[in-house]
Structure 1
Amino acid sequence: MFDLHRLRLLRELKHRGTLAAVAAALSYAPSSVSQQLSQLEAEVGVPLLEPVGRRVRLTPQAEILVAHTEAVLERLERAEADIAASLTDLTGTLRIASFQTAALALVPTALGLLRDRHPRLRVHVTQMEPERSLPALQARDFDLVLAEEYPGSPNPRPAELEQEDLLDDPLHLALPRSADTGDADGPTAALRSLADRPWALEPEGTAARHWAMTLCRNAGFDPDVRFETTDLLLHRRLVEQEHAAAFLPDLVWDGHPPTVPLRRLPRGQGTRRISTVIRRGRGRHPAIQACRAALREAVALRRAVALRSEQT
């Protein structure tokens, strides 16, 4: 029978890419990881790694082993969830990763609900964009990830992850006040009117940047990107101070009235989807269920506040 600890090291290597990354994540010496994988090769009787320059990659036989290891770990996740469900008190640590606007608008309310209902549950929150947090979830660095999907840019959905939709967050074109010419000519014309303006966008390689570039090019121009950051609060401030135009979601206002002119986006491009993502087999864990319930309640409370604000 193969050693499960060594199989997990092989799986970690697939997800983290290098022996050094595996060693750093698990607080091992790289030589110890290499030795354990060499012993696994001896157990299996076939090569599991092959050199590619200064790195290594998994052989087809190693990929087979990793696929079976994923199935075993999923079963162990279910066992852990069943044991936790059998207890009367919710304890332990729940590790959450969230992108910025959800971390600001939803997570604090959810944390308050969790604290009141499960005071012995320790929640650890890390702000991280989905491009990094979803691979980290697969590598078992987090238990739950708040992720975003922009129109036409769906996140990869590996078989070992499960996604549950949380809310649709409207997106808008945010204009400096000096560039506000009204909305009579429609969303594409509003976009095109900003072709010569500076822009604040998220960095290259992000789904948000790809979506924004596609919008602008469909309107007939490449944006003059002067500011690149995942910090949407900085995007908002740059628009407020008339340094740039930007695309801003509703969550960036956190229930408060917008402070800059907002315009509609072209049909089919006006909403990003926010979801919670977990590893397969962990959905029945009481901590995951409690967290998802608290986040749904945070969304409902935010909607109720927004509705009251509209009525007054």
Structure 2
Amino acid sequence: MFPYDYVHNHCMIDLRRIQVLRAVHQHGTVTAAAAALHLTPSAVSHHLRELARELKVPLVEPRGRGIRLTGAAHVVIEHGDAMVARWEEAESALEAYRSGAAGLLRMCGFPSAVAALLGPAAARLRAAHPGLTVEVSECETPTGFDLLLSTDADIAVLAPSEEFPYPGDARFDQRTLLNDRLDLLVPAGHPLTAREEGVRLEDVAHEDWVLPAPGSCDHHQRVVVFCAVAGFTPKVAHQVKEWMAVSAMVGAGLGVSLIPRTAPTLSEHGVVRVPLAGEPPLARRILTCVRQGSRDHPLVHNGLKALQEVADEVAAR
């Protein structure tokens, strides 16, 4: 599923080279672009030289010890995104004609999405389409976009982050899969577990909290923002990132936390999930992301359909 050549005015353009140029623009250096695309720096430089030769315009110029893109390069990137998307659309149409019940589908996502969404969706696809091979890999959000661009993944399940491309990024088709509601996690026997009326976030304003360290992941900032809206700043007594570790710490009576419905906990930790009252519900948004133009590819379509079915079941809990 990688674009090859595009012919215009008797000039053969290798669209892979436009992807390489786009990667240099995104990552800032030839070395970083090479790592993201699984190429050597010399191969990236070769692609840039060949693309400049094909287009008869300079694409890079020296800047200190490195390089920077020329104005012509930015024009190529702007129009190249549309060319690559159209190629993906053409390929999707061809594959739709051939049918998509067999082949290789590669999906990736952050850890709790793998456990709650991608794993069950992969099992569902394997049962429905025995000829389909599904590969699932775990990754963080920024890596997911590199996997899509290098065609090492066809579907990424991601949560928005500071590195997340803006919604109008021409390379990606991003759509909401699930608004993953957040529950208050408290130790068994906590007074709020017996309250019959609705529990609100401000009810734990004076509690100790177990949260990831600032900057370690987006959940810390998400919780801080929700608490600020509720009128307080959480007193973070323990900085823990992994959900199982959060579950153990809360179960030991060391604090409370907010945890997504898709995140795992262990009953032996002695924790209770308490749903929060109020509108709108506190949630993190989970998206599916594919390369622009590839959403209707039969394999991708089947994968997205299975993911949506699993997500709908999670939302109904």
Q: Aligning the two structures, in what range does the TM-score lie when normalised by the shorter sequence?
A: 0.7 to 0.9
Whether 1:41 and 2:52 are equivalent positions in the alignment is yes
Give 1:94-243 correspondences, 5 Å limit: 94-134=105-145, 136-149=147-160, 156-157=166-167, 158-177=169-188, 180=191, 187-194=200-207, 197-201=208-212, 204=215, 206-218=217-229, 219-224=231-236, 226-229=238-241, 231-243=242-254
Give the AA of the match of 1:105. Answer: A
Give the AA of the match of 1:248. Answer: I
**8 Å Cα contact 1:105/1:254 also seen in 2:** no
**8 Å Cα contact 1:166/1:296 also seen in 2:** yes
Aligned partner of 1:23 in structure 2 is 34
Give the AA of the match of 1:247. Answer: L
Counterpart Cα distance in 1 of 2:172 and 2:280: 27
Whether 1:65 and 2:68 are equivalent positions in the alignment is no
Q: Secondary structure at the match of 2:153?
A: coil
Q: Secondary structure at the match of 1:156?
A: coil
Deviation of 1:122 (Å): 2.0
Counterpart Cα distance in 2 of 1:119 and 1:185: 46
Deviation of 1:264 (Å): 1.8
Aligned partner of 1:271 in structure 2 is 283
Distance 1:300 1:41, change over 3 A: closer
Counterpart Cα distance in 2 of 1:129 and 1:299: 19
**8 Å Cα contact 1:216/1:222 also seen in 2:** yes
**8 Å Cα contact 2:247/2:265 also seen in 1:** no
Aligned partner of 1:77 in structure 2 is 88
What is the aligned-residue RMSD (CA, Å)? 3.4
Aligned partner of 2:263 in structure 1 is 252
The alignment of Structure 1 onto Structure 2 pairs a total of residues equal to: 300
Counterpart Cα distance in 1 of 2:67 and 2:281: 41
Counterpart Cα distance in 2 of 1:9 and 1:39: 11
Give the AA of the match of 1:187. Answer: R
Deviation of 1:294 (Å): 1.2
Counterpart Cα distance in 1 of 2:82 and 2:307: 29
Distance 1:119 1:34, change over 3 A: same
Distance 1:14 1:105, change over 3 A: same
Aligned partner of 2:13 in structure 1 is 3
Counterpart Cα distance in 2 of 1:246 and 1:17: 38
Alignment TM-score, normalising by the size of structure 1: 0.80
Counterpart Cα distance in 1 of 2:137 and 2:44: 27
Select the residue among 279, 282, 302 that pairs with 2:294. Answer: 282
Counterpart Cα distance in 2 of 1:199 and 1:23: 39
**8 Å Cα contact 2:102/2:132 also seen in 1:** yes
Q: Secondary structure at the match of 1:251?
A: coil
**8 Å Cα contact 2:198/2:276 also seen in 1:** no
Counterpart Cα distance in 2 of 1:13 and 1:188: 44
Distance 1:261 1:94, change over 3 A: closer
Distance 1:293 1:71, change over 3 A: same
Structure 2 unmatched runs, 5+ = 1-10
Identity rate, percent = 26
**8 Å Cα contact 1:167/1:275 also seen in 2:** yes
Structure 1 unmatched runs, 5+ = 307-312
Counterpart Cα distance in 1 of 2:52 and 2:61: 12
Q: Provide Cα deviations, 1:220-252, integer angstroms capped at 9, x if missing partner.
A: 3253263242x3233222212233422101122
